[in-house]
Structure 1
Amino acid sequence: MAKHALLSASSAERWLNCTPSARLTEKIPDTSSPYAAEGTLAHSIGELQLQLALKKITKRQFNSELKKIKENDMYYEGMLDEVEDYTNYVLEQYNEAVSKSKDAVIFLEEKLDYSTYVPEGFGTGDCIIIAAEELEIIDLKFGKGVEVSPINNSQLKMYALGAYDKYGFIYGIERIKITIAQVRLNNISSWAISADELLEWAENELKGKAQLAFKGGGDMVPGPWCAFCRVRQTCRARAEMNIETYENYNQDPRLLSIEEISEILGQADDIAKWAKELKDYALDEALKGTKYPGWKLVEGRSNRVIDDPDALVVVLTKEGYEEEKLYKPKALEGITNLEKLVGKKKFNELAAGLISKPPGKPTLVTLDDKRPELDSAEEDFF
């Protein structure tokens, strides 16, 4: 099993904001999700495609490795097309780099050490391109839940530190470009920072917090970074933050003001998510034998199921019921599943003119959301 850094770059947003969390979660098993496994497979495809394009492997080697990848349960047909958006971007950037400098270089799945600033810190950069005093870190993100921004991205800045420490002096790097390729959200975006600014951040902010986190010190600070924390269900600071939201408004006047409603709306999703995670955690622990005062484990409600559909059809048709009326009409798979089956690019070609996107249902979001504001007149919606 691969070794993981205590202060990993991927969890940097969490331990930089909540320094005790690294040690608190250290001995709790990290249950890998199917999304993580899918992402790992996508990275393997991306590396393989680039190795072939860069002539680091033969077509025969490519086909042999691709065959193994296709045998993975997480593989689906459209995955190749989706990852290709990342590999095409990488090749475009590399070709541009070569046009700027004959000494341009590219590294794939590069092992990076940033322990100068983070105790025992190391990781792997998906792609590094260096040319004309600029180093670009390109990171493939296969998730499609939340859009990831490259701006001040702690994970990628730490990888950039490792890359700069390894190649900065050799190539005289003065500028760092950080790129996120979140292919399934059509999000390929970049952000740049000078090498001096990166080193200043590392020395004045990263280093001190990393040392504190490594010792397990500091205050518990809940926030968006709690999402993947392995003690998020039982964290007292997070519980107090969510419960306090209601306590603060238990006062006269007896009706909430617009400002108070606005503040609660900002916390509502977090409160609901925290409550569900707490319930799920308590149920798992109860199944293991934990007793919670005032609560008991019982069998939940269930729906009836047909154990042998074919046998039931035989019985009913013998009684004179028409077989066609015993089955549901055929239903077409959803667009996402059809794209996986056919391949995203080919599906878009074949389905051209046959798919539309109706207006979405109005929803309240914060002002930093990228979508344009709608007219709030009720008759516009109904």
Structure 2
Amino acid sequence: MAEKAHAVLSASGSAIWLNCTKSGELSALPDAPPRKDSVFAAEGTAAHELAETCLRDGKNADLFLNLDFNGFSVSREMADGVQIFVDHCRALTSGSAYHAIETVVSLQALWEVEGKTCPTDLYGTADFIAYTGDTLHVVDLKYGVGIIVEAVNNTQLRYYGLGALLHLAHEGFTLPNFVCLTIVQPRAHGAGGPVREWTIPTIDLLLWADTDIIPTVEAILSGNTAYKTGKHCRWCPIAGRCPELRKDAMQIAKTQFDDVTATPPDPGLIPLDELGAILAQAELISGWVAQVRAAVSHAIDTGKTVNGWKLVPKRATRKWSDDQGVLEKLSQTFGSNSVGEFCTEPKPLSPAQMEKALKSHGHTLAEVGLDAAITAESSGTTLVPDEDTRSAAPTGPQHAFENADL
């Protein structure tokens, strides 16, 4: 898999720089903390590499079980998740006039149509695009599980959609009437399931370029920038050193507490309407605090001193260095027939994994009588803002009694 292309004003960072034009200046400072790839990002890269291999080679993901991609062994969960993306893309490929996998798309032609030169690199890598009928499809794989990514008004997808339109024009195609922007997030379904789509008229996407992309890019490069805090700050790599976010956080703290050194008030004594407002503000502060912690950790890790703080090793977790050697020692001590007592007991595959395994043998869950053995229960609830697209869970005393084991 070719390395993914990223620009300074990238598609993945568009939600930040389209809102806060000052963010690019902080990122360019010589002592700015570098963006570190987390283990989750590395796992996402592995899933993308697997997906690209499947699409290019015409193979299913389960053929790569236990093989290594970007340092990760392909698990059944990864294979099943990636296959959802692969199946969706293959369905679009059938009958398409054009399709492309892992394609670098650029926005530079937005300036060239007016005889100008694009003032900076503006490009990104679209996971999959397909031109079918009167619609251009842009599909993005998200392998993350913690946060549901929606397709509606997603600036990263719109950036890719614009680039894909310009790519089609360069290839000599007539522009489609519509652009369908799709998120495939197999491990975070949301209200719309793992595949979420947003279709918009092509003209609306081109107008967005005129009203948002072009003027914002030119403002940033001319130095006509300003800070703006909001939900996008959560993803900003330099939020920990942002003066505007720091000012907002201190102002919020002063608003809620007369004495910032005092013990915070008991939430049970605060009106519910106020609690909702406090929680919305706390989301902003918690993201900032996380970035401050990251900035301090980076400073200490690079040899600097921060008064009152230090880095210490995380708690070590014991594990076997040689599983087979352990089994042999147990067998010598207790006999081979007793080794099972010290091992994890085998258990059936999950329903999704079982369905896949049975399919390879020409059977379904129903045919072997397993469909009735499946239950689907939520492990609990999670608190989210009202704009989240998932339906609210039933709550209150009546719900509690309905589910009580009396």
Aligned to 1:5: 7
- Taking the TM superposition and a 5 Å limit, the aligned residue runs for 1:1-382 are 4-26=6-28, 28-53=33-58, 70-72=67-69, 73-78=71-76, 79-95=78-94, 97-98=95-96, 104-115=97-108, 116=110, 119-168=120-169, 170-185=173-188, 186-215=193-222, 217-250=224-257, 256-293=270-307, 295=308, 297=310, 330=344, 345-346=356-357, 356-361=375-380, 364-369=383-388, 370-377=390-397
Query: In the comparison of the two structures, how many residue pairs are matched?
Result: 349
Check whether the contact 1:25–1:229 (CA below 8 A) recurs between aligned residues: no
CA distance in 2, matches of 1:179, 1:217: 33
Q: Secondary structure at the match of 2:85?
A: helix
**C-alpha distance in structure 2 between counterparts of 1:177 and 1:306, whole Å:** 47
Q: Rate the CA distance shift 1:2–1:358 in 2: closer, same or farther, 3 A.
A: closer
CA distance in 1, matches of 2:294, 2:342: 34
Is the contact made by 1:249 and 1:256 (CA closer than 8 Å) also made in structure 2? no
Distance 1:368 1:122, change over 3 A: closer
8 Å contact kept, 1:150–1:178: yes
Residue 266 (structure 1) shift: 1.7
For structure 1, the 5+ residue unaligned runs are: 54-61, 99-103, 315-323
Matched-pair contact (CA < 8 Å) for 1:19–1:213? yes
- Normalized against structure 2, the TM-score is what? 0.71
Deviation by residue 1:64-99 (Cα, 9 ceiling, x = unmatched): xx879923431223222221111111122232x45x
Would the aligned equivalents of 1:286 and 1:297 in 2 still touch at CA under 8 Å? yes
**CA-to-partner distance for each residue in 1:272-296, whole Å, 9 max, x for gaps?**
3433442343244234443345x25
SS of 2:18's equivalent in the other structure is helix
Aligned residues of 1:23 and 1:215 also touching (Cα < 8 A): no
Cα distance in structure 1, aligned partners of 2:144 and 2:317: 36
- TM score, norm. by length of structure 1: 0.75
Q: 1:201 to 1:136 in 2, by over 3 A?
A: same
SS in 2 for 1:239: helix
- Give the Å deviation of 1:214: 3.5
For 2:18 and 2:348, the matched residues in 1 are separated by 40
1:269 is displaced (CA, Å) by: 3.8
* Structure 1 residue 24: Cα displacement: 1.8
Residues 319-362 of structure 1: per-residue CA shift (max 9 Å, x gap): xxxxx9xx9885789999x98xx688439988866664445445
Give the 3 Å change call, closer, same or farther, for CA 47–300 of structure 1 in structure 2.
Answer: closer
Structure 2 letter corresponding to 1:40: T
Offset at residue 182 of structure 1 (A): 1.3
Q: Is the 8 A contact 2:240 2:290 kept in 1?
A: no
Alpha-carbon RMSD:
4.0
**Residue type of the partner of 2:151?**
P
Q: In structure 2, do the counterparts of structure 1 residues 8 and 347 end up closer, same or farther at CA, with 3 Å as the change threshold?
A: farther
Q: Which has the higher contact order (CA 8 A, sep 6+)?
A: 1
- Deviation by residue 1:116-154 (Cα, 9 ceiling, x = unmatched): 267310122221111333211111221222111111221
Letter in 2 for 1:220: Y
Structure-2 change in CA distance of 1:24 and 1:328 (3 Å): farther
Partners in 2 of 1:208 and 1:366 — Cα distance?
A: 31
Q: Compared with structure 1, are the counterparts of its residues 280 and 91 closer, same or farther at alpha carbon in structure 2 (3 Å cutoff)?
A: closer
Q: Distance in 2 between matches of 1:146 and 1:48?
A: 26
Distance 1:265 1:335, change over 3 A: farther
Task: Note the C-alpha offset of 1:305.
Answer: 8.0
**Secondary structure of 1:178's aligned partner:** strand
- Most deviating of 199-208 and 230-239: 230-239
List gaps (5 residues or longer) in structure 2: 112-117, 260-264, 330-337
Distance 1:244 1:12 in 2: 27
User: Within 2, Cα distance between the matches of 1:158 and 1:288?
Assistant: 36
Q: Closer, same or farther in 2 for the Cα pair 1:268/1:333, shift >3 Å? A: farther
Contact 1:182 1:188 in 2 (8 A): yes
Contact 2:228 2:244 in 1 (8 A): yes
2:217 is paired with a residue whose SS is: helix
CA 1:303–1:36 in 2, change beyond 3 Å: closer, same or farther? Answer: closer
* Structure 1: distance between partners of 2:181 and 2:309: 51
- C-alpha distance in 1 between matches for 2:167 and 2:374: 49
Instruction: Compute the displacement of 1:301 (Å).
Output: 10
Shift of the alpha carbon at 1:199?
Answer: 0.9
Shift of 1:300: 8.4
**Given residue 210 of structure 1, which amino acid in structure 2 is its aligned partner?**
V
**Whole-Å separation in 2 of the counterparts to 1:16 and 1:367:** 24
Residues 233 and 284 of structure 2 are in contact (CA less than 8 Å); yes or no, is this contact kept in structure 1? no
Q: Taking structure 1 as reference, are residues 353 and 74 closer, same or farther at Cα in structure 2, changes over 3 Å only?
A: farther
Cα separation, 2, equivalents of 1:91 and 1:307 = 42
